[in-house]
Amino acid sequence: MKRLQICALFTQRVGFLNCAFERLDDVGIKRTFPMLCLLTLSRSVCAEVGMLFRGIWTLRRRCCTGPLLLLGIAVGLFYHTVTMDRDRSEFKSSQRDQRNKSAVFEYKLLLKNPERLISLLEASQRDGFVHHSQRSCEGKAIILTGQHAPTDTEVQLYQRVLQQQGYRVDQARYAETSASLRQDRRDGRDWSVLLCLKGSEKSCLRKINFAHPQHYQRVNIIPAFAGAFLDMGGVCRFLTDSQLSGVTLPIRPSACAFSSSPQEGTPNTAEYQQRKPITHSDNQGLNATVNVYVLVTSATPLTAFVHRTALVKTHLDETSYAIELQVFFRERLGLLLSYQAIDHMNHVISDILKAALLSTKESSSSPRCKLCFQLMTFSLHYNASLRPVVVKLQTDLHFDGMKDPYFDGQIAKEYMLEDVLKLLFPVCNSEAVEPSSPLNMQEETQKYGVCEGPNGLCLPQDEMHLLRQFNQHLKRPGPFQLLYPISSPPDDLCHDLIQRESHSAQDYGWRPALMALLQELSLYYTRRHQTESSLDEPKSPEPSDSLSRKERCVDPHLRQLYTDPPMVLMPTFNAWMKEYRAEVPFDVITIHIRPEPVSPHCHIHLDEHRGPRMANYPVGLGNSRINILVMDESEVEPVVMTIYTLHIYRESRPSLPMFDEYVMCSFVQDCGLVVRPDQPCGLEPFPGSGEAQVSPQPCLSGDEPGRWVVPCLSCSDNRTCDWREVAWQPDSCYHPLLDQPQLQTCLMNRKVLFIGDSTNRGMMYYLMERVNTTLEDWDKAHDTIVYHNLNQGRTIVSYSYYPQFWLPKSQRPTFQRALQQLLERSQPLENSPQTVLVAGGVQWLNLNHLRTIQQVLKREGLENIMVVVKSLGMGFHLPVDGIRSLPLNGVQEIYNVNKNILESAKHLGFEVIDTLSITMGRYKEFLQGRCACHFHEVYKLPFPTAASQRNLKILRLGGESGNPANVQTGPQQHEDPSSPPDVSYHVKGPVNAVYSEILLSRICVNHAVNGTIRQQ
């Protein structure tokens, strides 16, 4: 009897234990049963087990031993436990079935009422996923630059837009070198966006494969596409998959090849048979290659959009041009057929995307990156058919073949990237998102379904987020149009693909419902946009004045400043910063610049009100400045709204200091511009031993043949030369260098008249500085100017600018008139070598000018004065916008013209200076000026220098009939003459110094006998 009581107590404890486990288990699934039910079940179980034990105890007394009794008890308990688990499982299964039936019922209701579906999605976004919005607003975006420099405009675009959208942006070259990815506190899961630019794709894929992104993390690479669109021996990899056997796709097998071009070849005969020709005679002109830009926002399930802008090249065009797809098809096909063409285009691209996904594991398994997105370029070939063939497929954006491939392609790409970023990452404002109260959440749950949370769709969190994102994209598509899923019934071509996709989706019960909801959303918004577009049809504009139709420049700022080659701006470009600096190496001699405004209603002009919108600028040595004017031209008088300034510093030629062991090298011309094809170019050993040979014979003329000589470690590498020691060396003589006393004596009681352009003016200012030690007055004179009291009042210098090219041809003074005016205003003149006339310029001088000089001087009784002809020089050889530019054969012809000028001038008894031979070897060393012809520059000294004569009296005459005006510069008469000057200038430029010194030696040829002998 005692054993029976122990057994009853044990079974009673076991019954309560089972009840406790059962309650805990039910709590685990959040289903709480009444405690009364559990106690009743426990008592019934214990009673049954007690009755069983009584029978066993009676039987044991008769025939059973103790161990056998315990074994029977254990078997009984095990059986009862299994039975209870089975009953509980059946109960849960019935609960799940009931919930699924309710969910299916909700799907059917939502499919019939899309407004309710949209309301539900917006409610879930507002209530159930506030933490996601907060995470996005506080999230981090990581840009892997790869091959791009951090200063590239594309990288700056990503950073600028993401920061505007509320992200903190970090940069690294690769995922392995990113501190944000390697040192994340939560196993690399605190970033929200990972953007992998060209060159970092493999690093990105390794990151995705190693740590699957979370549902809120987005990457701009879809791993499934990385392998599907590889080139496998001239065939796209996904086309070799056995699942696609028997499926006909409108794509060239070699479309994935990296080297193939969209314009190369034509589709084969089999591809033509897939397409139905257009029978309408007016539509035979659809013969073009169209680049379509696709944004795949999700791979599983597939959702994709197409940008409205395409790149088109017809069979009649030499270059591609950007145009809206609908506009292109409407112009070529008409309104009705244009819609059909777009539908066929969408089906072709969708079929290829689905086929690529079916060939990967992600079509039948959980994707590694749910919200990964991909930008793609589909090159479609049309040949008198509405059904195109894909001839090129690229997994990024390409804008090849445009008229300006660098600027047009880069700008179009960045505009499209900005559209993508704003679509995928809308501006987040976590403060505006407030969670609903628990009471409202409970009401939403009761209203929209029996599933947990506010969504009521029984979808996993990732899929719910994807559905909500798809709704947002359709609601505000911007310049994108839906590509897939499409609401229209599929055609025969993709029927097999859809069947296979549906079959693979059966493994996940939520996929059919999710696809149905996506299609219902696409259908709803398609109808909605069609209705809105029909209501907003543009009306025919009323006739009005053209100026009244111009819109005002409301936001007068630059969006970006593009340069070719790219320059590193300091500071980094910001629309609100107005001044920038940049440095370029010596070999960069031109910069193509194109500012892009924020608003298309703002107009850009460079340097002046009527300057070009974009231009190719020559970059001289030292500092150059470009002004960028943002103007409002909506009124009759354009208004400058904003001015940006770009300062460019071009470095000098790289140079090494001269060592003890060196060789002398020489060159006549640079290999970058071969002016004389009969002569070698570049460095070559100079004849002689250690140093250049010096002949004791002074040169008899300023055009003696010569070459540049420079010390180098090796004549095969110009980077080993000491370019500070480069000198002009005539082949068989030398040009004497006069010291200042000799020069002052030579110019005493003489008048030097200059007529020519700015290169001639540069020689004049060099002469004035050499005579006076300093230059205290300088002006870019474009008229007639006379300097008195030079050389202690014993030398007069006058200058007249010619030709005045900025005036209309009918108003330009002739050379004869300009020369006569200069002679008249320099009177009195002595008919002897005491009067010197220096004439010449860059490339305007010809034989007629020489004859004019002779005739005018003879008529004025000045035939005995000294005339020095400065010959032609290098210039106008660079492709610069707004001015003439000589091709290579034109530059070579200039050399022949220059040779004739020199011979004719000497025949007339004039002195000459061959500036073309001097400048052509160092044509890259030009200074400021768009003509690339200035080898001098006048700049202000930071501290005034002592001068032998500081009072310069300037006689300036503004025009042909202008009255003389005396302008006193320097100290006024009541000031102490010994006081230091207020300002001083210096003429720099080693090339200008060389031919200016030759000019001085020719002017002072009779005073140079005792001069210092030095190589020029």
Determine the Cα–Cα distance for residues 691 and 709; give it in Å rounded to an integer: 10
pLDDT at 428 over 80: no
Q: How confident is the model at residue 442 (pLDDT cuts 50, 70, 90)?
A: very low
Is the distance from CB of 8 to CB of 53 less than 8 angstroms?
A: yes
pLDDT at 447 over 80: no
Edge-first strand order for the sheet with 168-172 is 168-172, 140-144, 193-196, 218-219
pLDDT at 78 over 90: no
Q: Residue 246: what pLDDT?
A: 80
Q: Residue 954: what pLDDT?
A: 36
Q: How confident is the model at residue 970 (pLDDT cuts 50, 70, 90)?
A: very low
Q: Residue 514: what pLDDT?
A: 76
Joined tokens for residue 99? 């919930």
Give 714-763 pLDDT, tens digit per residue: 999 999 999 999 999 998 899 999 999 999 999 999 999 999 999 999 99
Determine the Cα–Cα distance for residues 803 and 844; give it in Å rounded to an integer: 8
Those residues whose C-beta lies under 8 Å from the C-beta of residue 601, and which sit 6 or more positions away, are 550, 551, 552, 553, 554, 632, 634
pLDDT at 829 over 90: yes
Q: Residue 884: what pLDDT?
A: 86
Beta strand pairing status for 168-172 and 193-196? unpaired
Determine the Cα–Cα distance for residues 74 and 506; give it in Å rounded to an integer: 43
Q: Residue 262: what pLDDT?
A: 55
**Of the ranges 131-140, 287-296, 297-306, 392-401, which one carries the lowest mean pLDDT score?**
131-140
Give 454-490 pLDDT, tens digit per residue: 445 666 777 777 888 888 888 888 899 999 987 655 4
Q: Residue 1000: what pLDDT?
A: 95
- Mean pLDDT of the 702-707 span: 94
Q: For all residues of the chain together, what is the average pLDDT?
A: 78
Determine the Cα–Cα distance for residues 179 and 294; give it in Å rounded to an integer: 32
What 3-state DSSP class applies to 619?
A: coil
Residue 675 host element (H or E): none
Least Cα distance to 289 among 121, 401, 444 occurs for 401
Least Cα distance to 876 among 923, 826, 823, 809 occurs for 923
Q: What is the CA 4 to chain-centroid distance, rounded?
A: 91
State the residue for tokens 């220059």: 898
Q: What pTM did the predictor assign?
A: 0.75
**Could you say which DSSP state residue 729 is in?**
E
Size (the chain), residues: 1016
Helices (H), 360-508: 407-424, 438-448, 461-475, 495-504
Beta strand pairing status for 937-940 and 953-957? unpaired
Q: How confident is the model at residue 284 (pLDDT cuts 50, 70, 90)?
A: low
What 3-state DSSP class applies to 502?
A: helix
* 705 or 496, greater pLDDT: 705
Q: What is the CA 546 to chain-centroid distance, rounded?
A: 34
Q: How far is CA 150 from CA 144, 155, 158, 822, in A?
A: 10, 6, 11, 57
Q: How confident is the model at residue 599 (pLDDT cuts 50, 70, 90)?
A: very high
Least Cα distance to 341 among 327, 355, 354, 353 occurs for 327
Q: How confident is the model at residue 577 (pLDDT cuts 50, 70, 90)?
A: very high
Is the distance from CB of 290 to CB of 312 less than 8 angstroms?
A: yes
State the residue for tokens 């980077």: 719
**Could you say which DSSP state residue 976 is in?**
-
Those residues whose C-beta lies under 8 Å from the C-beta of residue 95, and which sit 6 or more positions away, are 31
Q: Residue 27: what pLDDT?
A: 36
* For the chain, domain boundaries: 2-110, 129-221, 225-403+435-529, 558-650, 663-730, 740-1003
Determine the Cα–Cα distance for residues 797 and 21; give it in Å rounded to an integer: 114
Determine the Cα–Cα distance for residues 904 and 952; give it in Å rounded to an integer: 37
94-119 b/e with 16+ CB inside 10 Å = b?
A: eeeeeeeeebeebbeebbeebeebbe
Determine the Cα–Cα distance for residues 872 and 995; give it in Å rounded to an integer: 12
Q: Residue 695: what pLDDT?
A: 53
Helix axes 438-448, 114-127, angle to 10 degrees: 150
Those residues whose C-beta lies under 8 Å from the C-beta of residue 938, and which sit 6 or more positions away, are 762, 765, 775, 778, 985, 986, 987, 988
Those residues whose C-beta lies under 8 Å from the C-beta of residue 671, and which sit 6 or more positions away, are 681, 682
Q: Residue 208: what pLDDT?
A: 81
Least Cα distance to 312 among 282, 284, 332 occurs for 332
pLDDT at 978 over 60: no
What 3-state DSSP class applies to 987?
A: strand
Is the distance from CB of 399 to CB of 408 less than 8 angstroms?
A: yes
Least Cα distance to 785 among 918, 927, 935, 969 occurs for 969
What 3-state DSSP class applies to 97?
A: helix
Cis ω before 828 (30° cut-off from 0)? yes
Those residues whose C-beta lies under 8 Å from the C-beta of residue 814, and which sit 6 or more positions away, are none
Residue 180 host element (H or E): helix 179-182
pLDDT at 21 over 70: no
Determine the Cα–Cα distance for residues 627 and 308; give it in Å rounded to an integer: 35
Joined tokens for residue 508? 């996940």
pLDDT > 90 in the chain, percent: 44
Residue 966 host element (H or E): strand 965-968
Q: How far is CA 184 from CA 190, 197, 204, 371, 475, in A?
A: 7, 21, 16, 21, 35
Q: Could you list the beta-strand ranges (E) of 871-928.
A: 911-913
Q: Provide the CATH topology of domain 740-1003.
A: Rossmann fold (3.40.50)
Determine the Cα–Cα distance for residues 229 and 391; give it in Å rounded to an integer: 13
Residue 806 exposed, middle or buried by CB count within 10 Å (0-12, 13-18, 19+): exposed
Least Cα distance to 988 among 916, 919, 934, 918 occurs for 934
Residue 539 exposed, middle or buried by CB count within 10 Å (0-12, 13-18, 19+): exposed
pLDDT at 924 over 90: yes
Give 640-691 pLDDT, tens digit per residue: 999 999 999 999 998 888 777 889 999 999 999 999 999 999 999 987 644 4
Q: Residue 24: what pLDDT?
A: 35
State the residue for tokens 């749910």: 370
Least Cα distance to 455 among 181, 218, 123, 776 occurs for 123
What 3-state DSSP class applies to 699?
A: coil
Joined tokens for residue 887? 């091709």
pLDDT at 4 over 90: no
Q: DSSP states of 20-70 as a string?
A: HHHHHHHHHTT-PPPHHHHHHHHHHHHHHHHHHHHHHHHHHHHH--HHHHH
- State phi, psi for 983 to the nearest 5 degrees: -150, 150
Which range is most confident: 45-54, 505-514, 597-606, 981-990? 597-606
Q: Residue 233: what pLDDT?
A: 83
Give 354-379 pLDDT, tens digit per residue: 999 888 865 445 566 778 899 999 99
